[in-house]
């Protein structure tokens, strides 16, 4: 018997459906489909209005036509946030790495993007960052991305002054709050939500990199590129990247359930699917791990990796995608007061909202492609996700002046 936080799971249960299955991309879609079926039978906190999905797809299509008139919609990843205000920081970094071999360039880019992601929880409505390259101020995810990029280029995450463009365990563990506040331009008048939490995340990553020498022999997160090549060569299914991300970073994710040494973080129980302890009663989302995986794909492709079946990864259950469906009326809470209440991220309502979001992102992809007369090859699922994320932000700004999510969530920064 394995026990954690009062949840008992027998060996029989582990070898059936299994907690290990919850660590797969396929299981995310399977379990979210169960909540969709439950909602169709009236068993959730939301009413479904499929008749409004067409208008929601039109909304996304209109955004695509305005933003990418040539239909060159980029893949969804952290790199898009780094290109705020049209300044292509990816290209700027590529120029810095012009004399570096492709594998080292991939390590460097993965170093940057993974650290950037760990600092990407909500910034609040007050904080902004003045960009050193083109002078404008920006907040939210783009501001955080630009601040992290500037710190990276200045060598803030490297312990070797002769190799500033890298991240390593020693530098992360020695990073101080004063250094992080300086890098993010935090002052009494420009406060950033969760600055201490961001520092703790970086310290935790530094400890993990130092302790797991088999995965990170140089103490760099970018060493994952070498581990993937060692396991699979340069041709692999995209889920192989996702599975390694889950394996590599399990210790820095908040643990809500552990079974046979498997840490389960963004995995949630729903009583309609069974009792606690029954693996089939849990719904995995793995939002942060998916975000990391999507963001690693571009550096790997640039290093001549051939990644198969990228659409097998589900859409991330974040508040921008989920907000799109709520703001456009595809999902409607059964209780009108739901929007004014504060909800725990573990609540049935939030778990259902996120599960329905994953299920409807697949439907949205089909509807958008149909309207644009494009295929899954000419408009990949990852590109649809970039459009839905932007559409979710746009709809939020049109609905609420501050662009906040449609539901008030007690969020720990790693979930939504």
Q: Does residue 24 register a pLDDT over 90?
A: yes
Among 55-59, 263-267, 392-396, name the one with the lowest average pLDDT: 263-267
Give yes or no for a contact between 117 and 292, defined as CB atoms under 8 angstroms apart: yes
Q: Does residue 121 register a pLDDT over 70?
A: yes
Q: Span 202-228, mean pLDDT?
A: 95
The verdict on residue 85 lying in a domain is: yes
The verdict on residue 138 lying in a domain is: yes
pLDDT of residue 120: 81
Q: Span 81-85, mean pLDDT?
A: 74
pLDDT of residue 12: 33
Q: Does residue 2 register a pLDDT over 50?
A: no
Q: Say if strands 46-48 and 129-130 run parallel, antiparallel, or are unpaired.
A: unpaired
Q: Give the model confidence (pLDDT) of 283-295 as tens digits.
A: 999 998 999 999 9
pLDDT of residue 1: 29
Q: What percent of the chain has a predicted confidence (pLDDT) above 90?
A: 69
Q: Give the model confidence (pLDDT) of 137-185 as tens digits.
A: 877 788 888 899 999 999 999 999 999 999 999 999 999 999 999 999 9
The verdict on residue 415 lying in a domain is: no
Q: Give the model confidence (pLDDT) of 301-316 as tens digits.
A: 999 999 998 899 999 9
The verdict on residue 303 lying in a domain is: yes
Instruction: List the domain range (segments joined by +) for residue 142.
Output: 2-410
Phi, psi of 408 (to 5 degrees): -95, 115
Q: How far apart are CA 349 and CA 409, in angstroms?
A: 10
The verdict on residue 43 lying in a domain is: yes
Q: Does residue 262 register a pLDDT over 90?
A: no
Q: Give the model confidence (pLDDT) of 30-81 as tens digits.
A: 999 999 999 999 999 999 999 999 999 999 999 999 999 999 999 999 888 8
For the chain, what is the mean pLDDT? 89
Q: Of 202, 145, 192, which Cα lies nearest the Cα of 170?
A: 202
pLDDT of residue 141: 80
Q: Span 221-228, mean pLDDT?
A: 96
* Burial tier of 12 (Cβ tally within 10 Å: 0-12, 13-18, 19+): exposed
Q: Which residues of 316-341 are buried (b: 16+ CB within 10 A; e: fewer)?
A: bbbbbbbbbbbbbebbebeeeebeee
The verdict on residue 173 lying in a domain is: yes
**What is the reported pTM?**
0.90
Count of domains in the chain? Answer: 1
Which two structure tokens, joined as six digits, stand for 195?
């600055």
Q: Does residue 276 register a pLDDT over 60?
A: yes
The verdict on residue 25 lying in a domain is: yes
């Amino acid at each position: 018997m394995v026990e954690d936080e009062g949840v008992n799971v027998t060996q029989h249960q582990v070898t059936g459906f299994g907690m290990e299955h919850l660590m797969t991309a396929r299981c995310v879609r399977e379990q979210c489909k169960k909540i969709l079926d439950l909602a169709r039978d009236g068993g959730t906190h939301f009413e479904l209005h499929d008749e409004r999905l067409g208008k929601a797809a039109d909304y996304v299509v209109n955004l695509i036509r305005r933003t990418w008139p040539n239909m060159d919609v980029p893949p969804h990843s952290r790199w898009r946030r780094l290109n705020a205000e049209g300044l292509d920081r990816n290209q700027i970094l590529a120029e810095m790495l012009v004399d570096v071999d492709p594998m080292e360039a991939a390590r460097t880019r993965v170093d940057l993007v993974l650290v950037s992601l760990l600092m990407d929880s909500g910034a609040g409505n007050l904080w902004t960052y003045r960009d050193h390259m083109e002078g404008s101020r920006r907040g939210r995810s783009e501001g955080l991305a630009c601040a992290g990029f500037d710190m990276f280029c200045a060598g803030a995450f490297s312990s070797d002054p002769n190799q500033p463009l890298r991240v390593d365990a020693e530098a992360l563990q020695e990073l101080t709050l004063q250094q992080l506040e300086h890098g993010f331009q935090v002052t009494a008048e420009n406060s950033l939500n969760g600055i201490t939490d961001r520092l703790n995340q970086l310290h935790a990553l530094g400890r993990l990199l130092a302790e797991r020498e088999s995965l990170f022999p140089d103490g760099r997160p970018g060493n994952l590129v070498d581990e993937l090549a060692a396991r699979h060569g340069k041709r692999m299914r995209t889920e192989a990247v996702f599975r390694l991300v889950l394996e590599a970073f399990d210790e820095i994710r908040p643990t809500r359930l552990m079974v046979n040494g498997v840490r389960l973080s963004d995995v949630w129980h729903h009583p309609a699917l069974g009792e606690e302890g029954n693996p089939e009663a849990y719904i995995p989302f793995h939002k942060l791990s998916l975000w990391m995986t999507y963001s690693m794909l571009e550096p790997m492709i640039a290093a001549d990796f051939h990644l198969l079946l990228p659409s097998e990864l589900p859409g991330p259950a974040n508040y921008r995608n989920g907000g799109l469906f709520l703001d456009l009326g595809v999902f409607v809470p059964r209780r009108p007061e739901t929007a004014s209440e504060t909800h725990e991220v573990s609540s049935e309502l939030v778990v259902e909202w996120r599960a329905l979001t994953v299920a409807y992102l697949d439907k949205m992809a089909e509807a958008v492609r149909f309207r644009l007369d494009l295929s899954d090859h000419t408009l990949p699922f990852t590109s649809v996700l970039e459009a839905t994320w932007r559409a979710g932000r746009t709809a939020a700004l049109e609905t609420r002046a501050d662009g906040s999510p449609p539901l008030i969530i007690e969020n720990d920064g790693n979930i939504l």
